Structure 1
Amino acid sequence: MEQREQLAKTLKPHWVWAIAFGSAIGWGAFVLPVDWMGMAGPLGVIIGYLIGALLMIIIGACYGYLIQRLPVSGGEFVYSYFGLGRYHAFFCGWFLTLGYMSIVALNASALALLGKFIFPSIVEVGHLYTIAGWKVYAGEIILACSALVIFAFLNIRGTSLSGFSQFIFCIGLVGGVILLSIAMFLHPSSSPANLQPLFNPGRPAIASILAIVAIAPWAYVGFGNIPQAAEEFDFHPRKSFSLIVIAMLCAGLTYSIVIIATGIGMPWMSAVDAGYVWGTGAIVESAYGKMGVALLGFALLMGIFTGLNGFYVSTSRLLFAMGRAKILPKSFAKLHPKHKTPHIGIFFTMAATLSAPFFGREALLWVVDMAALGVTIAYFYACFVAYRLFKWSEHENSRTDNRLVAPGKKLLSLLGVICSASFFLLLVVPGSPGFLSKPSWIALLVWIGLGAIFFLTRFKGYKSIPDDVLDGYILGEHRTQENIPEPSKPAVSAASISSSLDIGRIK
């Protein structure tokens, strides 16, 4: 078997937290509060996101188990291979790649939106055409593409640099949110009465909350960046679950604070009816003028930077893992000769997303809505594989003899399966609050078609790789079955299980 490239262990715990938290917040917390309140009302949004955070923590527990067992790059792609085989791995990896790339592209388009609002005379230059009602300007294309290029080179320069930069961006984001919220709470025109009605009067409260819960996989998708970077942890993987929990709680709190700070500044129904291009920006501008917009713009800029940086990390690591598995050309598995980063994956992500600004923001939103489905599929795979890692009792009859007896962890994993399946149903069942729009379904079918074509072109070579060789490519040193109880040996005690996840490959 040819030499397997491995990434250096350079990521510190607070950098990993910043990758998860910053990627979860991104631009949406500052751009979409008025849109969300139009869906569910202020309290509906807050309850929906807090429920979403709790559900994502349950799913995150499954990730914590898997990261400890398989601390390698690739995340859900690796987990689906480990638990279900090579073809499921391709299916999961294909959808996850789209989800990650879409978020990179959307963060770049959010930068163009910020530029349109703050510097319209500079960004709205050279009108080219209109797509789905969105006027596309040469100025916004240049701005968005420049950001994509800059962050690509930042990530190529080294994981330590991108990790440290992410932490600094997060500090700026948190500082901006705190200052902005204090300012909005203290403004004379701000009033809790502006939050009334607490729910959207046009739909039942439960439906309003579920509409927000349905987009939680997208809103909190940043925690999925932690397993993608697991191979680069310079700390024990068991810390990963606590980092996921802290990141999700911080994200849920941040979403709630921004919703309240936005809602008290103006009656939210008036803001919705006004049809602002950027509702939060308009409310802050009415209170504090350009100075307030500058502060909000700074927080938004930090959110965009954390999203761009974090998802460049995740996308490139996923492509790197798929390159090692020979699903993608082997060049994706090569590291930069000097900086030791997966530079081909970074360049590919940059090249693929550079076309996005040309399609306009509205058309891109269709793809992102559809990408939420792909992320949800990845959640399901991770939770299902985690569920299969454990047994309810020592006497459970199963062909799988190398699992650990851990009923508590198996129950939590089962809840994760149910949560991820529920997210999926909210997106695909007609009439549900989160049902995908027709353009999103069209985009989904196009992506499935492209995946089928790509798979057929790679099928023969991918199928011909022996199982033990592919184990080595994808799992590396973690492919061996360690501490597996033999049939003739005494059963493993529950006490020893709780302190170890050194279990072997699921059979």
Structure 2
Amino acid sequence: MKENRETLHKTLKPHWVWALALGSAIGWGAFVQPTTWMESAGPLGVIIGFFIGALLMLLIAVSFGFLIKSFPVSGGGFAYAYISLGRTHAFISGWFLTLGYICIVALNASAFALMIKFIFPRVIENIPLYQIAGWDVYLTEIIVATLLLVLFGIANFRGSSLSGSIQFIFCVIMIGAIFVLLLFVGIQPSAGLQNIAPLFPSDTTPIAAIISIVAIAPWAYVGFDNVPQTAEEFNFPAKKAFSLIVFAILAAATLYSIMIIVTSMVRPWEGVVEEGHIWGTGYIIQELLGPLGMAILAVALAMGIFTGLNGFIISSSRLMLSMARANILPSSFGRLHPKYNTPYVGIIFAVVVSMVAPWFGREALLWVVDMSSIGVTIAYLYTCYAGFSLFRMKKDHTFNEKRHILAPGKKVLAFLGMVASVVFLALLLVPGSPAFLGLESRISLAVWIVLGLIFYLIKRKDLNSLSDKEMNYRILGKEEIEIEKERE
């Protein structure tokens, strides 16, 4: 039995894992979306919304931290759904997470092409092919996105040490560029805090404005759940993962806020919004600081894109490795490269599927990415439920020494994490919500659910062919589901 489960090498250092969480959370949106966010919530509304979202993510992170420590294996939300609710729910969680991760890889690649298109339009706007949903698709744009995917695929193929170290380097460069921008904008005579007013948009209430930002928290902080996907590769005690996640979430909230402050300090933000630039932050930074300011912003954006690409290629391949161990995906996804010890089939699959996306245009891809926020939130809900089911308020007749831990405080936090996850789902799915999915995203969601149902019916026999002990071993690395004891 044990020969069926190859294991990853423990090569990831703590600061690499922190960079994986932070860099995956701070993607292209922090540098492209500030004017869009301010249009919805105003500068202060965006900042408050992001910090409230961070606090809600910290509630969810409590369950992640405990589960990573007790089950340091690849799989994340897929493995945790299996622990608490069994195989079918594990399939549901894994199905949605796979789509979410690969879509974010594809979106980051297309975002890099969009950045090049803004800075060097003559380079990208060559060889027009067709138009999809109002978006012109150029062959040059597709080539740029494809080459970027190939480069990061090769980096991931060659080992987690390489991908982990470059993730940290990219993060350091990104943070440095953000603070340099803050300094350069702050010393300009025409810029300053006086331009930040009004703090909220005039056409909505402050509470509604803040809620519209809180609703996108699963998307804004999605990178922190890359940490459990790499738990099998930690070269440090898994109990440190929780503090790394907390530090990454708070750092992400701070960096998002700094970019809002930088953008709104340049000149009154309402005027920038009314002008409707394709990249409002890029336009006004270039206007104020010239080519040097644009170059610094481009470096920050490129690093944000690179860390997102790298992080989600890592996570999607580890997730598919875990699903292959459980007989959901073909066994080839569970094989590790004989030299580099990486799940190379999953890496190749994620890169190749992402290469298809640029051919459909950015607008069509955004529909799928918006829908994939549902999948990430579902994984959050499963994780918090897993923590809730393992924590106990008291030792009663249902208490099992191997599977339960007396931790009333953590049980309450896990319950609050479940509530936060349900609220996020409601904001995305309830009509009238400020984050309600558009029609195209809802259609994409329905299609993915139908495909998942068909795939589940096809794979159900394979999924149920293993005994409980063998399934436990394949997913968790041990035949019994046992948690590590700790003090409350």
SS of alignment partner, residue 129 of structure 1: strand
Structure 2 residue identity aligned to 1:430 = P
Contact 1:21 1:248 in 2 (8 A): yes
How many equivalent pairs are there? 486
Matched residue, 2:69:
68
After superposition, what is the alpha-carbon deviation per residue over 1:343-387, rounded to whole angstroms, capped at 9, x for unaligned? 000000011110111111111111111111110000000001101
Matched residue, 2:96:
95
SS of alignment partner, residue 498 of structure 1: coil
Matched residue, 1:143:
144
Shift of 1:260: 0.5
Shift of 1:478: 6.7
SS of alignment partner, residue 135 of structure 1: strand
Contact 1:43 1:199 in 2 (8 A): yes
Matched residue, 1:411:
412
Matched residue, 1:125:
126
After superposition, what is the alpha-carbon deviation per residue over 1:392-422, rounded to whole angstroms, capped at 9, x for unaligned? 112x353756411111111111111111111
Matched residue, 2:450:
449
**Whole-Å separation in 1 of the counterparts to 2:6 and 2:376:** 27
**Whole-Å separation in 2 of the counterparts to 1:239 and 1:466:** 33
Contact 2:313 2:350 in 1 (8 A): yes
Matched residue, 1:503:
none
Matched residue, 2:432:
431
**Whole-Å separation in 2 of the counterparts to 1:108 and 1:482:** 39
**Whole-Å separation in 2 of the counterparts to 1:375 and 1:169:** 24
After superposition, what is the alpha-carbon deviation per residue over 1:121-145, rounded to whole angstroms, capped at 9, x for unaligned? 1111111111122111111111011
Contact 1:323 1:333 in 2 (8 A): yes
Moved over 3 A (4+): 399-402, 478-483
**Whole-Å separation in 2 of the counterparts to 1:179 and 1:236:** 35
Structure-1-length-normalised TM-score: 0.94
**Whole-Å separation in 1 of the counterparts to 2:439 and 2:209:** 21
SS of alignment partner, residue 201 of structure 1: coil
Matched residue, 1:498:
487
After superposition, what is the alpha-carbon deviation per residue over 1:238-257, rounded to whole angstroms, capped at 9, x for unaligned? 00000001001100000000
**Whole-Å separation in 2 of the counterparts to 1:10 and 1:482:** 24
Matched residue, 2:55:
54
**Whole-Å separation in 2 of the counterparts to 1:429 and 1:400:** 39
For the pair 1:28 / 2:65, whether they are aligned, the reply is: no
Shift of 1:265: 0.7
**Whole-Å separation in 1 of the counterparts to 2:481 and 2:465:** 21
After superposition, what is the alpha-carbon deviation per residue over 1:45-76, rounded to whole angstroms, capped at 9, x for unaligned? 00000101111111111100100110000001
Matched residue, 1:10:
11
Shift of 1:464: 2.0
Please list, as runs of the form range in 1=range in 2, the aligned pairs for 1:321-336 lying within 5 A after superposition.
321-336=322-337
Identity across the alignment (%) = 54
**Whole-Å separation in 2 of the counterparts to 1:257 and 1:289:** 20
Contact 2:60 2:380 in 1 (8 A): yes
Contact 2:45 2:210 in 1 (8 A): yes
Matched residue, 2:135:
134
**Whole-Å separation in 1 of the counterparts to 2:270 and 2:297:** 21
Q: CA RMSD in A?
A: 1.3
Contact 2:83 2:481 in 1 (8 A): no
Structure 2 residue identity aligned to 1:398 = T
**Whole-Å separation in 1 of the counterparts to 2:126 and 2:381:** 44
For the pair 1:182 / 2:183, whether they are aligned, the reply is: yes
Matched residue, 1:231:
232
Matched residue, 1:205:
206
Contact 2:76 2:229 in 1 (8 A): yes
Contact 1:76 1:378 in 2 (8 A): yes
Q: 1:470 to 1:374 in 2, by over 3 A?
A: same
**Whole-Å separation in 1 of the counterparts to 2:95 and 2:337:** 24
Shift of 1:476: 1.0
**Whole-Å separation in 2 of the counterparts to 1:259 and 1:66:** 34
Matched residue, 1:294:
295
Matched residue, 1:505:
none
Contact 1:70 1:478 in 2 (8 A): no
Matched residue, 2:44:
43
